[in-house]
Amino acid sequence: MNILLLGYGKMGKIIGEIAESRGHFLAGKINLENISELEKINPADVDVVIEFSQPESALGNITWAIERGIPVVSGTTGWLEHLPEVSKLTQEKNGAFFYASNYSIGVNIFFKVNEFLAKLMNETSGYQVAIEEIHHTQKKDAPSGTAITLAEGIIQNLDVKTQWNLTGQMADSEQSVPITSKRIDPAPGTHIITYSSDIDTIEISHTAHSRMGFALGAVLVAEWIKNKKGVLSMNDFLSF
Ligand SMILES: NC(=O)C1=CN([C@@H]2O[C@H](COP(=O)(O)OP(=O)(O)OC[C@H]3O[C@@H](n4cnc5c(N)ncnc54)[C@H](OP(=O)(O)O)[C@@H]3O)[C@@H](O)[C@H]2O)C=CC1
Ligand SMILES: O=C(O)C1=N[C@H](C(=O)O)C[C@H](O)C1
Protein backbone atom coordinates (compact mmCIF):
# COMPACT_ATOMS: atom_id res chain seq x y z
CA MET A 1 0.00 0.00 0.00
CA ASN A 2 1.06 3.60 -0.59
CA ILE A 3 0.63 5.50 2.69
CA LEU A 4 0.76 9.29 2.98
CA LEU A 5 1.68 10.45 6.48
CA LEU A 6 0.12 13.80 7.38
CA GLY A 7 2.00 14.67 10.55
CA TYR A 8 5.51 13.27 10.89
CA GLY A 9 6.27 13.91 14.55
CA LYS A 10 6.64 11.42 17.40
CA MET A 11 3.75 9.27 16.17
CA GLY A 12 4.24 9.74 12.42
CA LYS A 13 7.84 8.52 12.62
CA ILE A 14 6.95 5.29 14.47
CA ILE A 15 3.97 4.69 12.16
CA GLY A 16 6.29 5.12 9.16
CA GLU A 17 8.78 2.58 10.56
CA ILE A 18 6.07 0.00 11.26
CA ALA A 19 4.40 0.57 7.87
CA GLU A 20 7.71 0.04 6.00
CA SER A 21 8.50 -3.05 8.09
CA ARG A 22 5.14 -4.48 6.94
CA GLY A 23 6.02 -3.90 3.29
CA HIS A 24 4.21 -0.61 2.68
CA PHE A 25 5.58 2.39 0.80
CA LEU A 26 5.52 5.94 2.21
CA ALA A 27 4.09 8.31 -0.42
CA GLY A 28 5.05 11.32 1.72
CA LYS A 29 5.96 12.44 5.23
CA ILE A 30 4.35 15.83 5.70
CA ASN A 31 5.02 18.27 8.55
CA LEU A 32 4.40 21.99 8.89
CA GLU A 33 7.96 22.71 7.72
CA ASN A 34 7.53 20.81 4.40
CA ILE A 35 3.77 21.36 3.93
CA SER A 36 4.39 22.73 0.39
CA GLU A 37 5.31 19.14 -0.62
CA LEU A 38 1.61 18.30 -0.38
CA GLU A 39 0.89 20.13 -3.66
CA LYS A 40 3.24 17.74 -5.46
CA ILE A 41 1.42 14.61 -4.25
CA ASN A 42 -0.71 12.86 -6.89
CA PRO A 43 -3.84 11.58 -5.04
CA ALA A 44 -3.97 8.63 -7.45
CA ASP A 45 -0.65 7.47 -5.96
CA VAL A 46 -2.03 7.34 -2.39
CA ASP A 47 -4.05 4.40 -1.01
CA VAL A 48 -4.56 5.82 2.47
CA VAL A 49 -3.68 8.86 4.57
CA ILE A 50 -2.59 8.35 8.19
CA GLU A 51 -3.10 11.62 10.02
CA PHE A 52 -1.40 12.30 13.39
CA SER A 53 -0.73 16.04 13.48
CA GLN A 54 -1.96 18.75 15.85
CA PRO A 55 -5.45 19.80 17.02
CA GLU A 56 -5.44 22.95 14.85
CA SER A 57 -4.27 21.07 11.72
CA ALA A 58 -6.46 17.97 11.77
CA LEU A 59 -9.57 19.42 10.08
CA GLY A 60 -7.56 20.84 7.14
CA ASN A 61 -5.60 17.62 6.65
CA ILE A 62 -8.66 15.39 6.79
CA THR A 63 -10.62 17.65 4.43
CA TRP A 64 -7.70 17.66 1.96
CA ALA A 65 -7.74 13.86 1.78
CA ILE A 66 -11.50 13.26 1.71
CA GLU A 67 -11.98 15.83 -1.06
CA ARG A 68 -9.45 13.84 -3.13
CA GLY A 69 -11.17 10.51 -2.49
CA ILE A 70 -8.43 9.15 -0.21
CA PRO A 71 -9.46 7.10 2.88
CA VAL A 72 -8.25 8.71 6.14
CA VAL A 73 -7.10 7.09 9.39
CA SER A 74 -6.87 9.90 11.95
CA GLY A 75 -5.53 9.80 15.49
CA THR A 76 -5.13 13.49 16.23
CA THR A 77 -6.93 14.52 19.43
CA GLY A 78 -8.40 17.84 20.52
CA TRP A 79 -10.30 18.78 17.34
CA LEU A 80 -13.54 16.76 17.67
CA GLU A 81 -15.83 19.80 17.74
CA HIS A 82 -15.36 19.61 13.92
CA LEU A 83 -16.40 15.96 13.64
CA PRO A 84 -19.91 16.80 12.32
CA GLU A 85 -18.31 18.70 9.36
CA VAL A 86 -16.02 15.77 8.61
CA SER A 87 -18.91 13.28 8.84
CA LYS A 88 -20.99 15.40 6.42
CA LEU A 89 -18.12 15.70 3.94
CA THR A 90 -17.41 11.96 4.15
CA GLN A 91 -21.04 11.18 3.30
CA GLU A 92 -21.14 13.75 0.46
CA LYS A 93 -17.97 12.36 -1.13
CA ASN A 94 -18.87 8.73 -0.40
CA GLY A 95 -15.50 8.53 1.33
CA ALA A 96 -13.98 6.64 4.25
CA PHE A 97 -12.98 8.31 7.51
CA PHE A 98 -11.73 6.40 10.58
CA TYR A 99 -11.19 8.03 13.95
CA ALA A 100 -9.99 6.64 17.27
CA SER A 101 -8.85 8.60 20.31
CA ASN A 102 -6.59 5.62 20.97
CA TYR A 103 -5.47 2.92 18.48
CA SER A 104 -3.91 0.63 21.10
CA ILE A 105 -5.69 -2.73 21.31
CA GLY A 106 -4.97 -2.79 25.07
CA VAL A 107 -6.69 0.56 25.57
CA ASN A 108 -9.70 -0.60 23.56
CA ILE A 109 -10.01 -3.62 25.89
CA PHE A 110 -9.68 -1.16 28.80
CA PHE A 111 -12.55 0.92 27.31
CA LYS A 112 -14.81 -2.16 27.52
CA VAL A 113 -13.73 -2.93 31.11
CA ASN A 114 -14.46 0.71 32.03
CA GLU A 115 -17.98 0.48 30.55
CA PHE A 116 -18.68 -2.81 32.36
CA LEU A 117 -17.42 -1.43 35.69
CA ALA A 118 -19.51 1.75 35.31
CA LYS A 119 -22.63 -0.33 34.70
CA LEU A 120 -21.91 -2.44 37.84
CA MET A 121 -21.53 0.72 39.94
CA ASN A 122 -25.25 1.50 39.43
CA GLU A 123 -25.90 -1.32 41.90
CA THR A 124 -24.31 0.48 44.85
CA SER A 125 -23.88 3.97 46.35
CA GLY A 126 -21.19 5.85 48.23
CA TYR A 127 -18.48 5.72 45.55
CA GLN A 128 -17.03 8.80 43.84
CA VAL A 129 -15.62 8.20 40.36
CA ALA A 130 -12.60 10.10 39.01
CA ILE A 131 -10.31 9.85 35.96
CA GLU A 132 -6.61 10.73 35.96
CA GLU A 133 -4.50 10.89 32.80
CA ILE A 134 -0.72 11.32 32.68
CA HIS A 135 1.17 12.27 29.50
CA HIS A 136 4.49 13.80 28.44
CA THR A 137 4.90 17.60 28.65
CA GLN A 138 4.80 18.14 24.84
CA LYS A 139 1.15 17.13 24.67
CA LYS A 140 -0.93 20.10 23.51
CA ASP A 141 -4.47 19.08 24.51
CA ALA A 142 -6.01 18.36 27.91
CA PRO A 143 -7.76 16.25 28.84
CA SER A 144 -6.46 13.52 26.54
CA GLY A 145 -8.80 12.16 23.87
CA THR A 146 -8.60 8.79 25.62
CA ALA A 147 -9.73 10.31 28.94
CA ILE A 148 -12.71 11.87 27.15
CA THR A 149 -13.64 8.49 25.61
CA LEU A 150 -13.37 6.92 29.11
CA ALA A 151 -15.59 9.66 30.55
CA GLU A 152 -18.13 9.08 27.77
CA GLY A 153 -18.09 5.35 28.57
CA ILE A 154 -18.90 6.14 32.21
CA ILE A 155 -21.61 8.69 31.31
CA GLN A 156 -23.32 6.17 29.00
CA ASN A 157 -23.36 3.46 31.69
CA LEU A 158 -23.50 5.11 35.15
CA ASP A 159 -26.95 6.67 35.55
CA VAL A 160 -25.99 9.54 37.88
CA LYS A 161 -23.34 10.96 35.49
CA THR A 162 -24.30 13.26 32.61
CA GLN A 163 -21.09 15.21 31.85
CA TRP A 164 -17.35 15.44 32.54
CA ASN A 165 -15.19 18.30 33.79
CA LEU A 166 -11.48 19.07 33.80
CA THR A 167 -10.52 19.57 37.45
CA GLY A 168 -9.50 23.12 38.23
CA GLN A 169 -11.50 24.54 35.30
CA MET A 170 -15.00 23.72 36.52
CA ALA A 171 -16.30 22.79 39.96
CA ASP A 172 -16.88 19.06 40.49
CA SER A 173 -20.53 18.07 40.91
CA GLU A 174 -22.56 14.93 41.60
CA GLN A 175 -23.50 14.72 37.88
CA SER A 176 -19.98 15.23 36.53
CA VAL A 177 -16.99 12.89 36.03
CA PRO A 178 -13.86 14.82 37.09
CA ILE A 179 -10.76 14.39 34.90
CA THR A 180 -7.32 15.37 36.22
CA SER A 181 -4.59 15.88 33.60
CA LYS A 182 -0.93 15.59 34.62
CA ARG A 183 2.05 16.29 32.34
CA ILE A 184 5.16 14.35 33.41
CA ASP A 185 7.97 13.24 31.04
CA PRO A 186 8.35 10.81 29.40
CA ALA A 187 4.88 9.25 30.04
CA PRO A 188 3.53 7.90 26.69
CA GLY A 189 0.03 7.62 28.19
CA THR A 190 -1.44 6.45 31.51
CA HIS A 191 -5.16 6.43 32.36
CA ILE A 192 -6.55 5.59 35.80
CA ILE A 193 -10.21 5.23 36.81
CA THR A 194 -10.89 5.33 40.54
CA TYR A 195 -14.10 4.67 42.46
CA SER A 196 -13.49 5.75 46.09
CA SER A 197 -15.73 5.30 49.12
CA ASP A 198 -15.15 5.64 52.87
CA ILE A 199 -14.72 1.87 53.00
CA ASP A 200 -12.51 1.06 50.00
CA THR A 201 -11.20 2.03 46.57
CA ILE A 202 -11.69 0.26 43.26
CA GLU A 203 -9.10 1.23 40.64
CA ILE A 204 -8.46 0.16 37.04
CA SER A 205 -5.63 1.54 34.94
CA HIS A 206 -3.88 1.27 31.59
CA THR A 207 -0.23 2.27 31.16
CA ALA A 208 1.41 2.46 27.74
CA HIS A 209 5.11 1.53 27.96
CA SER A 210 5.83 3.17 24.58
CA ARG A 211 3.99 4.57 21.50
CA MET A 212 4.28 1.21 19.72
CA GLY A 213 0.72 0.06 20.49
CA PHE A 214 -0.86 3.28 19.17
CA ALA A 215 1.24 3.19 15.99
CA LEU A 216 0.74 -0.51 15.22
CA GLY A 217 -3.03 -0.12 15.69
CA ALA A 218 -3.13 2.77 13.21
CA VAL A 219 -1.22 0.75 10.58
CA LEU A 220 -3.49 -2.27 11.07
CA VAL A 221 -6.55 -0.05 10.57
CA ALA A 222 -4.96 1.50 7.44
CA GLU A 223 -4.57 -2.02 6.02
CA TRP A 224 -8.19 -2.84 6.93
CA ILE A 225 -9.87 0.33 5.58
CA LYS A 226 -9.37 -0.51 1.88
CA ASN A 227 -12.79 -0.66 0.11
CA LYS A 228 -14.64 0.52 3.26
CA LYS A 229 -16.99 3.53 3.19
CA GLY A 230 -18.42 5.91 5.80
CA VAL A 231 -17.40 7.16 9.22
CA LEU A 232 -15.74 4.27 11.03
CA SER A 233 -14.40 3.56 14.52
CA MET A 234 -12.65 0.86 16.53
CA ASN A 235 -16.07 -0.74 17.11
CA ASP A 236 -16.14 -1.49 13.35
CA PHE A 237 -12.54 -2.74 13.30
CA LEU A 238 -12.50 -4.90 16.44
CA SER A 239 -14.69 -7.94 16.94
CA PHE A 240 -15.21 -7.45 20.70
N1 LIG B 1 -5.19 8.15 18.63
C2 LIG B 1 -4.05 7.67 19.16
O3 LIG B 1 -3.88 6.45 19.36
C4 LIG B 1 -2.96 8.63 19.49
C5 LIG B 1 -3.13 9.95 19.23
N6 LIG B 1 -2.11 10.83 19.43
C7 LIG B 1 -2.36 12.19 18.98
O8 LIG B 1 -1.68 12.36 17.76
C9 LIG B 1 -1.29 13.73 17.59
C10 LIG B 1 0.20 13.78 17.25
O11 LIG B 1 0.94 13.33 18.36
P12 LIG B 1 2.54 13.37 18.32
O13 LIG B 1 3.05 12.69 17.10
O14 LIG B 1 2.97 12.92 19.65
O15 LIG B 1 2.80 14.95 18.18
P16 LIG B 1 4.08 15.69 17.56
O17 LIG B 1 3.97 17.12 17.99
O18 LIG B 1 5.30 14.94 17.87
O19 LIG B 1 3.85 15.59 15.98
C20 LIG B 1 2.87 16.31 15.32
C21 LIG B 1 3.42 16.68 13.98
O22 LIG B 1 2.37 17.25 13.21
C23 LIG B 1 2.97 18.21 12.37
N24 LIG B 1 2.00 19.13 11.82
C25 LIG B 1 1.46 20.25 12.37
N26 LIG B 1 0.60 20.82 11.52
C27 LIG B 1 0.59 20.06 10.40
C28 LIG B 1 -0.08 20.13 9.16
N29 LIG B 1 -0.94 21.13 8.88
N30 LIG B 1 0.13 19.15 8.26
C31 LIG B 1 0.98 18.13 8.51
N32 LIG B 1 1.67 18.04 9.68
C33 LIG B 1 1.47 18.98 10.60
C34 LIG B 1 4.02 18.88 13.24
O35 LIG B 1 4.97 19.43 12.37
P36 LIG B 1 6.13 20.44 12.84
O37 LIG B 1 7.05 19.58 13.66
O38 LIG B 1 6.76 20.89 11.54
O39 LIG B 1 5.45 21.50 13.62
C40 LIG B 1 4.54 17.71 14.05
O41 LIG B 1 5.70 17.14 13.51
C42 LIG B 1 -1.71 14.42 18.88
O43 LIG B 1 -2.96 15.03 18.70
C44 LIG B 1 -1.84 13.27 19.88
O45 LIG B 1 -2.73 13.56 20.93
C46 LIG B 1 -0.90 10.44 19.92
C47 LIG B 1 -0.69 9.14 20.24
C48 LIG B 1 -1.69 8.12 20.05
O1 LIG C 1 -0.57 12.84 22.82
C2 LIG C 1 -0.31 11.66 23.13
O3 LIG C 1 0.85 11.28 23.33
C4 LIG C 1 -1.42 10.71 23.23
N5 LIG C 1 -2.59 11.11 22.84
C6 LIG C 1 -3.78 10.34 22.79
C7 LIG C 1 -4.85 10.94 23.66
O8 LIG C 1 -4.96 12.18 23.71
O9 LIG C 1 -5.60 10.20 24.28
C10 LIG C 1 -3.55 8.87 22.98
C11 LIG C 1 -2.41 8.50 23.88
O12 LIG C 1 -2.84 8.54 25.19
C13 LIG C 1 -1.17 9.31 23.64
Cis amide bond preceding 143, omega within 30: yes
Residue tagged active-site, from 135, 161, 191, 206: 135
Determine whether the shortest distance from the Cβ of 102 to ligand 2 is under 6 A.
yes
Alpha helix positions (H), 68-104: 83-92
Going by CA atoms, what residue is nearest to atom 41 of ligand 1? Answer: 9
Q: What is the pLDDT of residue 227?
A: 92
Contact yes or no for 230/53 (Cβ under 8 A): no
Q: Which of 214, 216, 234 maximizes ligand 2 atoms within 8 Å of its Cβ, making it the mutation to test the pocket?
A: 214
Atom of ligand 2 nearest to the CA of 147: 9
pLDDT band at residue 240 using 50, 70 and 90 as cut-offs:
confident
| Per-residue model confidence (pLDDT) at position 194 | 98
- Cis peptide bond upstream of 186, omega within 30: yes
Over residues 85-107, the pLDDT tens digits come to 999 999 999 999 999 999 999 99
Q: Which atom of ligand 2 is nearest to the CA of 77?
A: 8
Mean predicted lDDT score pLDDT of the chain: 97
Domains in the chain with CATH codes = 2-103+212-237 (3.40.50.720), 105-207 (3.30.360.10)
198-217 burial code (b ≥16 CB/10 A, e <16): eeeeeeeebebeebebbbbb
Task: Average the pLDDT over 206-219 and give the result.
Answer: 98
Please compute the mean of the pLDDT values over residues 200-221 and round it to a whole number. Answer: 98
Would you say the ipTM is above 0.90? yes
Instruction: Give yes or no: 135 in active site.
Output: yes
Is pLDDT at 170 greater than 80 in this prediction? no
